[in-house]
Structure formats: C-alpha cells, structure tokens
Amino acid sequence: MTHHPTVLDTAAGQAVRREDLTSWRLRLGSERSAAPPKVLDRLVAGFEVQVPESVLACLVRHGVLDDVTVDGTEEDVAWAADCSWSYRTAVQRHGDDAHVRLILEGVDTVATVRVDGQEVLRTDDMFHRWVVDLGVDDSAGVWEVEVLVHPVLPVARAAEAQRPLPRADIYELPYNQVRKMACSFGWDWGPVTVTAGLWRPVVVERSLAGRLDRVLLSPGWDGQALLRGSVRADGAVARARLRVSTVGADPAVLAEVIAEVVDGEASFDAVVPGAERWDVVGHGVQVLHEVEVEAVTADGAVLDREVRRVGFRDAELRQEPDAHGRSFEMLVNGQRVWARGFNWIPADVAPERLARRHVRALVEDAVAAGATMLRVWGGGVVESEDFYDACDELGVLVWQDFSFACAAYPEDDQQVERVRREVADAVRRVGHRASLVLWCGCNENLWGHEDWGWKEALGDGPWGARLYHDVIPAVLSRLDPDRAYVPGSPFSPASGAHPNDPTQGPTHHWDTWNEVDYAAFEGKSSRFAAEFGWQAPASWPTLVDALGGEPTGASDPRLARLQKAYRGMQSLARGVAEHLPHLPEDGRGWYLATQLVQARAVRASIGRFRSVHETCSGALWWQLDDCWPALSWSVVDVAGRRKLGWWACAEVMAARTVLPTADGVVDGLTLVNDLPGQWSARGSLRVLTEGGEVLLTEELETVVPPDGHAVLRPSELPAGADVVVVDLDGRRAARWLTADGGLTHAPARVCVRLGAVEAGRAVIEVEAVDLVRDLVLLAETAPQLRESRVDRQLVLLLPGERVVFTVTGPGVAELAPDAWPELLGAGVELTVLPGAES
C-alpha cells in the first residue's frame, strides 16, 4: 500500500502535526442507474473504507465484486465505473487555533469535494496532489468532508466529441482525454477496470505557527557527496536547517546547514564529508543516508520537520556522436552501467491495493534475474514510495515515464497547467531518490505521430509535442535540473531523425512478435532496446484459478478473455509452429509449448542486444509483472509466480554470462562481463549433433575486461554439426546452428530417480541418455504443488549428464512417487526409461 512519503516527529511542542485520515464511509452516489438491483441496498447503506482505497478495491473486499486479478471478469465490474460514489468522513476540531489543511495525495479522477455541505474543490487529475484549506480551528466539533467521485467516461467522451484525438487503433476508450492512468481503460495485456476513488492517502495537516510546504532534495557526487535542496515555507519560519546523518543503530551527523528563508523560499548546497557513495547492484554498495529538514523560527523553535533517505551518486545520460550514430549510455559514478532489466506496469488494477511486501518481492525477482534497471511505463503512474524504497535499497536504477502513452494528447492551457502540477508533484515526492536516474516524457507518442496516421489526421493541430519538448523539461529544469530527461521512448535526438532510429536513442522492437519471429532479433541493432517481448500464459495455478478449471488447449474459448493482444493467439501459435514440432492439442502441452517459446525468445532477444555490447547499452524486456491472470509478455505473473521466461532472463541477464548469439558470427557465442573487475574464464566448447554425438571438443581460457565482451567459436565446424555448447565457470549456453524447423525433434530418453522427500522438500534426479534441450520440471501443474518452487529450469543435458531439481513448498510429500516423472517437460518429447524411477 502506498504510504505518505514524509516521516514526521510528532514529539510534544512541534508546531505541525500530520495524520493520515484513513477512516471513511463509501456509499453509492446519485448516479446509480448502472448498479445491479440485487446489491443496491448494500451500496446505498455503504461500507467502511480504509483510505487509500478505490471503489473497485472496496467492493471486491466486501464481496460485491469478484476480483479480476484472480477469477473475476471485467464485464462484471464495469457497472461500478458508471456510478457516482460518495466518500464521507469527519475531521475533528480541537479549538486550538491551528491552521488546518486537508491534503488529498491522489483522487481518481473527476470529483467534487465538499466541506460542511459547501463545494470547495473540483478535481480532474489522478496524478495531482490536491490541497483544501479548512481554515482556523477555533471551535469544538468537526468538519464534515465529502469527496463525491463522478464517472470519468462521460467526461472523456464529451471531450472526445468536441476535440477528437487519435490513439493506437486497438484502444477504443478515449483515455487520452482525461488525466487518468491509461491502462485502466484496457490495454493489450490488461482488462478494462475504470477505477475511481481515493487511491492515495488523505492527510490532515495542523499548523500552529508555520510549516514546510515543499522540500526538494537532489543528492549528487562530484569527488565528494553533495546535496542540493530547496524549501518553501510559510508562517513564522525564519530558517531552514538541514542535517545529514548515517543510517543505523548509532547514527552520526555528517553535515548541518542553515539557510535563511526569504519570501517563503530557502535553498542550500551542502557538502557532506564522510558520506559513502550509493552504487548500482553488482557495482558497489547501496549506502543510504538520512536527511532531516527542519523549519525553525527566529528564536530557534522547530515548527516542522521532514525526514527522507537519499543516496549520493553521480548519474549521467551520455548521448554522443560516434561511428555507429549516437550513444545512449547511463553512467553512474563515472562508469557505464549496462542496463539489463524490465519494463514495469502497475502490478494491480487498483495500485493502492499493492502490499509493500509484494512490490518488494517483484523488485527482488528482477534483481535475482540480473536486472540493473526498471523502466516504469507511461500508461501507468509515477510509482509508489514502496517501489522506490525497494529500488533504492536493492540498487536498481529507475527510468520513470510520465503518464502519457500511445496517443495524441491535448495541449490547451488547462492541460498545460495540469501537467506542470503533475511534474512538480512527482519531483516533490520522488525527486530525492538515488535510484531515479531518468525522466521520460511519454511512451510511443513521438513514434505514433510519425507512423500511425496521426499527422494525416491532425494536420498542424496539437498532439502533445509541446508537453514533451517544452512544458515538462521546463519544470524539470527548475526543480530537478541534475537528472536526465528525454521527451519520449522511442526517441531520436537528431533533428529530422525517425523516432525509432536504431542508430540513436532508445528503440522499441515489436515487428518480431507482431509479424515475423523472434529469430529476426539476430539481425537487429539498437543503442538502447527499451521495449521488446514475447507472450506466454500466466503460470498454471494462476491460469486454472482464472478459468475455473484446467485449459483444454489453445482453442479453449475461456482463454479469449485473458488474451488482449491483437492477433495474440495467432502469434502464440505461430511461435510454436516455428520452433516446436507441433502445437499440442491438450491444455498442459499447450502451456509447456508457449512457455518454452517465450523463454527462447528471451534468449534470442536479450542475447542479441547484449552481444552487441559496445554499441548497445541496454535491453529492457517487456514486461516484468502483470496486473491480472493474463496471456501476456510478463515473466512473473500477477500471483508472483515465475514463468519459464524468468529463468531464461536469469541466464542471459546475469552480470557475467555466456550468450547464445554473436554479432556476425553464425557459429559464435558471446562472453559478456558487466562487472567492474576483469573476468578470467576457463571451460570448454563442444560441437554436437542434435542427438548428442560429440564431434569436437576444445578447451577455453579467456580474459574479459570490465564492461567488455569476447566472441567464442569453434576452430572448425565438422560436418553434421547442429549445436555448439560452451561451458565456462559453471555457466552453459548453446548456439543452435540448425534452425528449429530443420531438426528431427526425435524423442529424448531420460532416467528419473526420486531422492529424499521430506516435509516441504523433494529432490528429483534426471539423467540424460540423449541430448535433452530445455529440460523443465513443471511442479506447479500438480494440484498438490501449486505453491511450490523449483530451484532451476531450462536445463540442457548432454548424454550421460545428470541434473538435480529441488522442489520446495507445501504438498511435496503428498505427491505419489510415480507422478514426478509426469511433471517433466522439454523442447522435445521425453521418454522415461522403464523402471528408472524409484
């Protein structure tokens, strides 16, 4: 759950108090014709709400709506978006003459705020922080507060009728006409759940003499730790005092600076001696420091206080002309960081419902797969404090889009003012974060204007360019000047260049999924590959829950509601047809086949971009997470279960790894080293037939410099070679020389032995008789093992080799011994030798 970013000392005598206003009553409003009669009485009576909580989340919690993140349908929840909803609460008066403000951190989206029956505010922006001045608390009693949330779709449709603006063709609803999270109107991986309500905290602020109205902090490093900041204050605040301390059981003060407040403003530049530097995961330690900012009167009394955590680092986006075009490299502390990672979408259809532990687990999954960067996509929101806490603490760089995606947007004066406020709010809330290294204006809008028919439809009319090129960077230059900004993704900085020019800027690669095949990645180039992907279904237990039973196969009509991509099922089938002998007709076979193909697409795509290691500086897979039980491009599903694609990511995104591709070398593999120290690697290279006959063996010994790579290839290529296998320092990769369509896909024989089985743990040993490609243990397909985890997947075994799978979780002791071999799968048909299992 999102929490208020400011941590306050509420000790006796402090002149400002802030308290989350959590207890509200939610009732159906006057616009109610869409509400089902069978629940009308309950809706009119209302429900207790713990804000932040949207209408959708509240109705799910009280059993009025089924949960689309588990097994509910978007059609069944749609009526809630067509109603108005009233949030009511009371703010206690104390009669202490405090100046009281009501701070609404996030209202989704169109609402009227009333205090004691009088309208005081109208909201029209989900991303803005709204403030209501309640006045002076000079009497006993309460302020009665109501937030009446109106349906947003009529507002969007009215704007669309007055001023049509194009969107990506697959999106029917006019999400671009209102300032609301675009993906709640449906996306090619998510449902239509047009949320509404109080989705971020509501805070009551009581000030007796003066307060901090805004604190901006910008940590940096220039041979030493630096902290730039500014404060806006009011009332009797004469000075702002800043104190920087270490974090721990015995904190030490490293620096203290006092700045005079003039006309309500103060600024400071502090050197912080003795501070340690924050660095990226794998490159250094994630040292965080506590910064305390106090508002002080002329006689030294502390009126207000904010505490935040910062990390000191130097971050720079380098875009320089070179022989290949123009670089797009992220440097942290003077070193290029090869940005391995993922795109991040809202991980719940109601983002406020996300538990802190779930957000942390997703970021940990990204790190475990080798990620150094997450891109927060522009169809969602500027992410939560829980997300940024995890990234700061784990050393993950963040690329943060502003909330514009796949559409033309208005540029009128009201819109410009909205966007200015949004940017200022975002900087106030997360601008101090060490992990945040790049702001981005929009997702695919520059590309859309160029290639999707918008220019022809709009002529010289506005479409958002002013926002991305002028409005947003102007606010950032004033409030956050030290952090890099690009107007969009994809984006080319050279005048007149195509937005998706692979020789410069970030690029998106979707022809592979939409039109051709993942094998086409072999010839792609990019300076920074910001989006590309391949689909697979959610994990088996998640899918079974969503469908109300096991899928029967690719043609199961129940799958259709979970597939939102245009021609998505055809693309899934095409991928299987290109790379496996046939599309299985049964549900489990289809599940395995599509999961395997996604995993191989991960290897082909990320492997390609990392193999052009010097000219490309980043590869961000689309996408890490999901918001419902989708057939989508995610590698971790909505329940937090890993797909086989996640395991492929862990192979090809490791800081030091062997990649199954090499630039311009048809029989080569690439050794990459993204770590600061050199890598002295030893191992072997073998050339084999499809069945596992070894045609050539060579010993390998090579040194890879920091941020460097080396190409590995056999000294000769014997006739009949199908695959080159490289083993280095416990890492294995295979370069298939024969296309999948040219292989025989003969059944592979294995021997299986069940080892120790105890409460919560089982060991399964598999020995290969033939070459076995992408051996997996799909423990989750057994009902008893739905909550289990397997310690490895996608194993390549040469004849005579063995692998041990360890399965942990509840239910392992309940599975019959002869059922374990049935959970095995591979890229070929497996034959378990009679009597081998025990």
The tens digit of pLDDT for each residue in 281-309 reads 999 999 999 999 999 999 999 999 999 99
- For 486, the token pair is 């690009």
Residues 6+ apart with CB under 8 A from 135: 99, 100
Single pTM value for the model: 0.96
pLDDT of residue 14: 63
The secondary structure element, H or E, covering residue 597 is helix 587-611
The answer to whether residues 789 and 809 touch, using CB atoms and an 8 Å cutoff, is yes
Query: Which parts of 480-559 fold into alpha helices (H)?
Result: 511-514, 540-547
Q: Is the pLDDT of residue 551 over 60?
A: yes
Dihedral sign for Cα atoms in the order 75, 174, 382, 616? positive
pLDDT of residue 836: 55
The answer to whether residues 145 and 114 touch, using CB atoms and an 8 Å cutoff, is yes
Q: Strands 436-440 and 484-486: what pairing?
A: parallel
Mean pLDDT over 665-683 rounds to: 96
Q: Where residue 1 falls among pLDDT bands split at 50, 70, 90? A: very low
pLDDT of residue 3: 35
Mean pLDDT over 113-122 rounds to: 98
* Weakest mean pLDDT among 11-20, 96-105, 169-178, 486-495: 11-20
**Distances 498 to 165, 366, 515, 516, 517 between C-alpha atoms, Å:** 22, 31, 21, 22, 24
How many angstroms separate the CA atoms of 354 and 337, rounded? 30
Q: Is the pLDDT of residue 10 over 70?
A: no
How many angstroms separate the CA atoms of 823 and 71, rounded? 25
Mean pLDDT over 593-609 rounds to: 98
Q: Is the pLDDT of residue 633 over 50?
A: yes
Q: Strands 830-832 and 748-758: what pairing?
A: parallel
pLDDT of residue 6: 36
The tens digit of pLDDT for each residue in 136-171 reads 999 999 999 999 999 999 999 999 999 999 999 999
pLDDT of residue 559: 97
Please calculate the CA angle 768-774-778 and round it to the nearest 5 degrees: 95
How many angstroms separate the CA atoms of 378 and 631, rounded? 21
Q: Where residue 15 falls among pLDDT bands split at 50, 70, 90? A: confident
Residue in the block written with tokens 């259709």: 560
| Among 544, 495, 489, 467, residue whose Cα is nearest residue 780 | 544
The number of C-alpha atoms within 13 Å of 530 and in the hemisphere containing its C-beta is 32
How many angstroms separate the CA atoms of 725 and 684, rounded? 8
The tens digit of pLDDT for each residue in 256-281 reads 999 999 999 999 999 999 999 999 99
Q: Where residue 249 falls among pLDDT bands split at 50, 70, 90? A: confident
Mean of all residue pLDDT scores within the chain = 95
Q: How far is CA 594 from the centre of its chain?
A: 23
pLDDT of residue 835: 62
Residue in the block written with tokens 């919690």: 61
Q: Is the pLDDT of residue 12 over 60?
A: no
Order the strands of the 53-54 sheet from edge to edge: 53-54, 197-198, 107-108
